[in-house]
Amino acid sequence: MSAIHPPTARLWWKQPIDRVEGTWIAIAFLWCLIMFFMMPYWHITGKQNLSNEAYRTSPEAFSKKAQDMVDKHTVRTDTDQNIPVVHPPAGSDVYLIARLWAWWPVLELEQGKSYRLHLSAMDYMHGFSLQPANINLQVIPGYEMVVTVTPNQTGKFSIICNEYCGIGHHKMVSNLYVVNK
């Protein structure tokens, strides 16, 4: 039998398996089992996946929470984007809104302090990607995603949308500042 000519016996699956082919099937099956059991192991020991919570919400309710936080904790306006920069106290709930085609507000967090970051979309599904930390979450309308974050280095980090959300998707970029107080 060759790849050019059709098999003489039409029931090719009833033909005996060659020894080399059987070896490769066994290696592939063994590798699949190893990877299957390594995934939960990596999740538990590697702390690579964020443990998050999700709650149902409405865009109006989430927007009100975010606006209340902005009213209380605004420290300045980001000159690049003309968006308020919020510096909430350590340990507090921090709200970030995703909407066409912006993140609102800009956050300023303290190094070494924990915050509960609440994310929600007002219109379409967006993707929250914090670079270069490589934190990725889906931000879905009608849901409030909550993640506990503790920044461990200072600097200016980029927040980008990594789910295509329309024609202005490429402009959906914001900043997150981590300061040492």
For residue 152, what are its two tokens?
């461990």
Q: Name which residue leads in pLDDT, 24 or 7.
A: 24
Q: How confident is the model at residue 173 (pLDDT cuts 50, 70, 90)?
A: very high
Nearest to 116 by CA among 142, 136, 95: 95
**Domain coordinates of the chain in residue numbers?**
12-46, 52-179
In the DSSP assignment, the letter for residue 158 is E
Superfamily, domain 52-179: Cupredoxins -  blue copper proteins (2.60.40.420)
The yes-or-no verdict on residue 53 having pLDDT over 90 is: no
pLDDT at 49: 60
Amino acid at 175: N
Give the span between the Cα atoms of 73 and 87, in whole angstroms.
6
pLDDT at 50: 67
Give the span between the Cα atoms of 82 and 62, in whole angstroms.
21
In the DSSP assignment, the letter for residue 123 is S
For residue 89, what are its two tokens?
């106290």
pLDDT at 96: 96
Nearest to 119 by CA among 130, 133, 110, 132: 130
In the DSSP assignment, the letter for residue 91 is T
Give me the sheet containing 106-110, strands edge to edge: 74-78, 83-86, 106-110, 173-179, 155-161, 126-131, 135-139
What would the mean pLDDT of 157-175 be, rounded to a whole number? 92
The yes-or-no verdict on residue 1 having pLDDT over 70 is: no
User: Within 10 Å of residue 38's Cβ, how many Cβ atoms?
Assistant: 11
Q: What is the number of alpha carbons within 13 Å of residue 9 lying toward its C-beta?
A: 6
pTM over 0.85: no
In the DSSP assignment, the letter for residue 8 is S
Q: What phi-psi label fits residue 155: left (phi over 0), alpha (psi between -120 and 50 degrees) or beta?
A: left
pLDDT at 9: 65
pLDDT digit string (tens) for 69-122?
A: 999 999 998 877 789 999 999 999 999 999 988 999 999 999 999 999 999 999
